């Protein structure tokens, strides 16, 4: 059973991480998809009143970075600095990502702690020296098992992710005794069935571990762009060992015990399914070897597909997020991928689908509702929200619909990471309020200038405005800019305070928006789309 916000408060922060992204190139939609999901999840938990820590960052060591830098005639560090400062950090700011920290694996706060962690394992006899010969994908920075490879028409062995030939490595390396942790991992998976999500990912990992684990090479000796192995500086630490440890080093491992105690381990690691084994097998084994607690959950999202191919730079289907935000807006961008694709499954993107959903759900259903309600309060009550009179069955149905939407959204987004179902529950309520207005026909009721007619009109418009108050609270983690605009339009800031301080779990409590609030018709939340420019 998940802990409530009040139980977590004052003990451990709700700690969420993205992968630290490889900076061989600028970020694309796949990177942004995971990062937005983490941002929505952590904003939701903040609006539950919980302590939250959201970490993202960049993975800056390894052979792929070194080769990319060489190809661009710069040093690896210069390449990383340029990409981080000119591409990665600006994009997260552009997408309203409210991360608490940004870790870079070239930072001293990370490199020193990684050496200490690996030295500890070596001192515990968990690491030994040996030789390695086998296939390696530089794109994945991963030692591949022969059974993982796919065969080209000419018989060449290819990485299944990058569809590029693997390299055969023969090196003297240091190895972590991963094979010893197979039984412990299987026991842990059995005791914690929710550790790996979705179920298909869990089944993949369990079957993989049941086949038996090989010891893991944790160093490289044929290049030097990495963290030196502390007892043998002819070797650098394998980039994935280096990378995984960011989740510990960023929150004070061996440096800030108080911070580490109140944050580690992560409650949720958000990852792409192509790096599942690193996070669900190698990472918990490393922590077990060090006597540290393992994460609460590893949630693998699917791939974004374009034309049936995984979106990436290597297969030329990479699309810049700015290509979409310049057309649809940042909030619509944040909303679309979580609403259109079930988290954990592969999903296809198309301009046509985005355009259709934007027009139907955002502009017509949600944006038009906000505009109509503000316009009617302005027209019939001079912009001052009237007090509701007696609620009838129609109003009670709205109250019940809101209670259901809040309960479903809180469970789906806050606990199950089913962003799509949570968002749909909120938009089902938006549709219900639209239907309520259509049925009640306030424009006709307004023609009745009797006391009863005015009271009825006041009830209809208060019900609609109060519903929008709740919608603004619920959608704030997903679409913070438009939610704030709606909050301001309803005059809620003056009476209820900051939108970010409104608890999502309490959004269904009816009557929070006070009569007399100043309702204004602001800019259209979701403007009509212009035709995209043709190259």
Among residues 371, 365, 363, 374, the alpha carbon closest in space to that of 491 is found at: 374
Q: In this structure, is the dihedral angle defined by the CA atoms of residues 418, 422, 427 and 428, taken in order, positive or negative?
A: positive
Lookup: tokens for 224: 């030097």
Torsion from C-alpha of 215, 220, 222, 227, nearest 10 degrees: 180
On whether the CB atoms of residues 18 and 56 are closer than 8 A, the answer is yes
Cα(45)–Cα(410) distance, rounded to whole angstroms? 9
Q: Which residues are catalytic?
A: 28, 31, 137, 140, 159, 162, 310, 313
Strand partners, 51: none
Where helices occur in 19-107 by DSSP H, the ranges are 29-46, 63-71, 76-83, 89-94
Lookup: tokens for 244: 């995984």
On whether the CB atoms of residues 159 and 166 are closer than 8 A, the answer is yes
Strand partners, 17: 55, 269
Burial (CB < 10 A; 0-12, 13-18, 19+), residue 106, is: buried
Cα(499)–Cα(1) distance, rounded to whole angstroms? 29
413-425 burial, b at 16+ Cβ within 10 Å, e below that, comes to bbebbbbbbbbbb
């Amino acid at each position: 059973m998940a802990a409530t916000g009040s139980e977590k408060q004052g003990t451990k922060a709700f700690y969420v991480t993205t992968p630290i992204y490889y900076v061989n190139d600028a970020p694309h939609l796949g990177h942004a998809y995971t990062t937005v999901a983490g941002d929505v999840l952590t904003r939701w938990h903040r609006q539950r009143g919980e302590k939250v820590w959201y970490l993202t960052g960049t993975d800056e060591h390894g052979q792929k970075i070194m080769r990319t830098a060489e190809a661009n005639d710069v040093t690896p560090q210069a390449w990383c600095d340029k990409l981080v400062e000119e591409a990665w950090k600006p994009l997260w700011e552009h997408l309203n990502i409210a991360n608490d920290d940004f870790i870079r694996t070239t930072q001293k706060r990370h490199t020193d702690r990684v050496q200490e962690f690996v030295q500890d394992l070596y001192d515990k006899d968990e690491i030994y020296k040996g030789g390695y010969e086998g296939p390696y994908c530089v794109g994945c920075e991963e030692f591949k098992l022969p059974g993982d490879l796919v065969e080209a028409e000419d018989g060449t062995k290819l990485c299944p992710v990058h569809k590029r030939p693997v390299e055969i490595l023969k090196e003297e390396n240091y190895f972590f005794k991963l094979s010893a942790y197979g039984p412990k991992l299987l026991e842990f998976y059995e005791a914690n069935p929710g550790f790996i999500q979705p179920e298909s990912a869990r089944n993949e990992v369990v079957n993989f571990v049941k086949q038996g684990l090989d010891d893991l090479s944790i160093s490289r000796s044929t290049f030097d762009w990495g963290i030196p192995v502390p007892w043998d500086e002819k070797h650098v630490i394998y980039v994935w060992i280096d990378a995984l440890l960011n989740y510990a080093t960023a929150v004070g491992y061996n440096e800030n015990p108080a911070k580490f105690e109140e944050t580690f381990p992560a409650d949720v690691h958000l990852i792409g399914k192509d790096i599942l084994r690193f996070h669900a097998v190698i990472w918990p084994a490393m922590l077990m070897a060090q006597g540290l607690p393992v994460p609460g959950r590893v949630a693998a999202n699917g791939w974004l597909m374009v034309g049936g191919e995984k979106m990436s730079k290597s297969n030329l289907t990479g699309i810049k997020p700015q290509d979409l935000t310049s057309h649809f807006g940042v909030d619509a961008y944040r909303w679309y991928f979580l609403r259109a694709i079930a988290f954990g499954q592969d999903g296809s993107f198309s301009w046509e689908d985005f355009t259709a959903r934007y027009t139907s759900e955002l502009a017509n259903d949600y944006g038009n509702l906000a505009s109509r309600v503000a316009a009617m309060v302005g027209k019939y009550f001079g912009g001052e929200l009237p007090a509701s009179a007696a609620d009838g069955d129609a109003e009670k149905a709205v109250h019940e619909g809101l209670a259901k939407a809040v309960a479903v959204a809180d469970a789906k987004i806050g606990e199950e990471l089913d962003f799509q179902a949570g968002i749909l529950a909120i938009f089902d309520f938006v549709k219900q309020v639209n239907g309520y207005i259509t049925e009640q026909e306030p424009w006709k009721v307004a023609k009745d200038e009797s006391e009863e007619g005015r009271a009825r009109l006041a009830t209809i418009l208060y019900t609609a405005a109060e519903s929008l108050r709740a919608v603004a609270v619920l959608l704030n983690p997903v679409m913070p800019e438009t939610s704030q605009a709606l909050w301001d339009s309803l005059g809620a800031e003056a009476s209820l305070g900051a939108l970010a301080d409104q608890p999502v779990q309490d959004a269904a409590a009816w009557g929070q928006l006070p009569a007399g609030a100043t309702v204004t018709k602001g800019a259209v939340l979701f403007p009509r789309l212009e035709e995209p420019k043709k190259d």
